[in-house]
Amino acid sequence: MPETEAPLDFIREIVSKDLESGKHASPVTRFPPEPNGYLHIGHAKAICLVFGVAEEFGGKCFLRMDDTNPEKEEAHYAEAIQRDIQWLGFQWDGEVRHTSDYYSTLHDWAIHLIREGKAYIDEQSAEEMRANRGSLTEPGRNSPFRGRPQEENLERFEQMRAGELEEGTCVLRAKIDMASPNLNLRDPALYRILKKAHPRTGNEWCIYPMYDFAHGQSDAIEGITHSLCSLEFENHRPLYDWFVENLPVPNKPRQIEFSRLNLTGTVMSKRKLLRLVEDSVVDGWDDPRMPTLSGLRRRGFTPASIRDFIARAGVTKTAQTMDLRLLQHCLRQDLEHSAERRMAVLRPLKVVLTDYPEDRTEEIELPNHAGREELGKRKIPFSREFYIEQSDFLEDAPKKFFRLTPGKEVKLRYAYVIKCEEVVKDQDGNIVELRCTHDPETRHGLPKDRKVKGILHWVPAKESIECEVRIYDELFTVENPDGEDDFMSVLNSESLERVRARCEPSLLDAAPEERFQFERNGYFVVDMDSKKGVPIFNRSVSLKDSFSKK
Partner RNA sequence: UACCCGAUGGUGUAAUUGGCAACACAACAGGUUUUGGUCCUGUCGUUCCAGGUUCAAGUCCUGGUCGGGUAGCCA
**Positions marked catalytic:** 34, 260, 270
10 binds RNA (CB under 7 A): yes
372 binds RNA (CB under 7 A): no
CB of residue 332 vs RNA: minimum separation in angstroms? 6
- The DSSP line for 172-191 is EEE-S-TT-SSGGGSS-EEE
| CA 150/CA 520 separation, integer angstroms | 75
129 binds RNA (CB under 7 A): yes
- Interface with RNA (CB under 7 A), residue from 83, 112, 196, 317: 317
| CA 112/CA 158 separation, integer angstroms | 13
Integer angstrom CA distances of residue 383 from 347, 356, 362, 416, 460 = 20, 7, 6, 11, 7
Q: Residue 433, SS3?
A: strand
Of 124-132, 297-305, 346-354, 495-503, which segment contacts RNA by CB under 7 A?
124-132
CB of residue 126 vs RNA: minimum separation in angstroms? 4
125 binds RNA (CB under 7 A): yes
* Residues in Cβ contact with 516 at an 8 Å cutoff, skipping those fewer than 6 apart: 339, 340, 341, 342, 507, 510, 523, 524, 525, 537
Of 81-89, 190-198, 355-363, 433-441, which segment contacts RNA by CB under 7 A?
190-198
- Assess contact for 410 and 417: CB atoms under 8 A: yes
254 binds RNA (CB under 7 A): no
Question: What type of residue is 270?
Answer: K
Comparison of 178 and 529: residue with beta carbon closer to RNA: 178
User: Using CB under 7 A, which residues numbered 193 to 222 contact RNA?
Assistant: 193-194, 208-212, 214-215
Of 41-49, 184-192, 470-478, 496-504, which segment contacts RNA by CB under 7 A?
184-192
Comparison of 253 and 287: residue with beta carbon closer to RNA: 253
Comparison of 193 and 276: residue with beta carbon closer to RNA: 193
Say how many residues make up the chain.
Answer: 550
| CA 332/CA 349 separation, integer angstroms | 28
- Interface with RNA (CB under 7 A), residue from 147, 163, 181, 512: 181
135 binds RNA (CB under 7 A): yes
CB of residue 131 vs RNA: minimum separation in angstroms? 9
Half-sphere CA count of 279, side-chain side, radius 13 A = 11
* Residues in Cβ contact with 281 at an 8 Å cutoff, skipping those fewer than 6 apart: 275, 475, 488, 491
User: Using CB under 7 A, which residues numbered 324 to 343 contact RNA?
Assistant: 325-326, 329, 332-333, 336, 341
CB of residue 168 vs RNA: minimum separation in angstroms? 4
354 binds RNA (CB under 7 A): no
Q: Taking the alpha carbons of 88, 93, 96, 101 in that order, is the dihedral positive or negative?
A: negative
Of 110-118, 191-199, 351-359, 423-431, which segment contacts RNA by CB under 7 A?
191-199
Crossing angle of helices 303-313/41-56, nearest 10°? Answer: 80
130 binds RNA (CB under 7 A): yes
CB atoms within 10 A of CB 354: 11
356 binds RNA (CB under 7 A): no
- List 386's β-bridge partners, or say none: 351, 460
CB of residue 142 vs RNA: minimum separation in angstroms? 15
User: Using CB under 7 A, which residues numbered 23 to 52 contact RNA?
Assistant: 32, 34
Comparison of 256 and 423: residue with beta carbon closer to RNA: 256
- Interface with RNA (CB under 7 A), residue from 82, 105, 259, 506: 259
Q: Taking the alpha carbons of 147, 148, 154, 157 in that order, is the dihedral positive or negative?
A: negative
Number of residues that bind RNA (CB under 7 A): 92
145 binds RNA (CB under 7 A): no
- Assess contact for 36 and 74: CB atoms under 8 A: yes
Integer angstrom CA distances of residue 54 from 222, 309, 443, 523 = 14, 19, 56, 34
| CA 172/CA 156 separation, integer angstroms | 9
Q: Which stretches does DSSP call E strand in 203-305?
A: 207-209, 226-230, 254-258, 261-263
| CA 442/CA 439 separation, integer angstroms | 6
13 binds RNA (CB under 7 A): yes
312 binds RNA (CB under 7 A): yes
Comparison of 326 and 478: residue with beta carbon closer to RNA: 326
Nearest one of 101, 108, 110 to 198, comparing CA atoms:
101
- Interface with RNA (CB under 7 A), residue from 2, 24, 56, 72: 72
Per-residue contact string for residues 284-303; x = within reach of RNA by CB under 7 A: --------------------
Of 43-51, 144-152, 319-327, 501-509, which segment contacts RNA by CB under 7 A?
319-327
Comparison of 477 and 529: residue with beta carbon closer to RNA: 477
Comparison of 168 and 512: residue with beta carbon closer to RNA: 168
User: Using CB under 7 A, which residues numbered 404 to 463 contact RNA?
Assistant: 411, 413-414, 443-446, 454-455
Comparison of 21 and 135: residue with beta carbon closer to RNA: 135
Helix (H) or strand (E) holding 296: helix 293-299
228 binds RNA (CB under 7 A): no
390 binds RNA (CB under 7 A): no
Q: Which stretches does DSSP call E strand in 301-392?
A: 320-322, 340-342, 344-345, 348-353, 361-367, 377-383, 385-389
Comparison of 287 and 456: residue with beta carbon closer to RNA: 456
Comparison of 243 and 287: residue with beta carbon closer to RNA: 243
